[in-house]
Amino acid sequence: MKLSRQLRYFYLKFVRLKGSPHELALGMALGIFAGLLPILPFQIALAVTLALLFKSSKITAAIGTWISNPLNWYFLYFYTYKVGAFLLGVSGKEAFFSKLMRSIRQAEGPMAIAAQIFQAGTTVVASFITGGIVLGVAFAVPGYFVFFYIFRSIATWREIRRKSRQEERRDH
């Protein structure tokens, strides 16, 4: 299948998502939040669980986790740790952090990277989680408003299109 055809397919699936703009945008925001947590194999599961709890779109929550992908894991882990370590006052873990960043650059699997983090101890885990929560909220809140605008625009466009089609039918 051609790339342009695939992109058109995903675009159409996106604009046809069901739900209110609030539900869809909240799902995206929850997905973005979960996507910024350094829990790679479990991000979608967390996002969908949060979507269930907050009565939002589970599909957009899963899509929102795509904010983290193999192209940005290095930066994701780097900044979540740095922000969390700063906020918690953690120091003396530079050797571990360098080793972890090397593992990420070498594209080791998510489970191997998670194992390294948990083996480093609770202060490192707390730094990653704290940084992930802070960055998750920092990106999810504006993400909600951006996607609310997008989904509201799509809903308005759909309504105008629907009314236009109804008028065409009446005229015939």
Find where tokens 């992109």 sit: 7
160 has a pLDDT exceeding 80: yes
Tell me the C-alpha distance between 55 and 29, whole Å. 13
Distances (CA, A) of 52 to 14, 15, 34, 83, 123: 20, 22, 14, 29, 31
Q: Tell which wins on pLDDT, 60 or 124.
A: 60
Q: What is the pLDDT of residue 172?
A: 67
Q: Tell which wins on pLDDT, 4 or 144.
A: 144
**Quick one: tokens of 7?**
């992109």
Q: Tell which wins on pLDDT, 91 or 157.
A: 157
162 has a pLDDT exceeding 70: yes
Q: Where are the domains of the chain?
A: 21-156
Mean pLDDT of the 131-138 span: 96
Mean pLDDT of the 80-108 span: 82
Closest to 148 (Cα-Cα) out of 28, 56, 63: 28
Question: pLDDT, tens digit, for every residue of 24-76?
Answer: 999 999 999 999 998 877 899 999 999 999 999 999 999 999 888 767 777 88
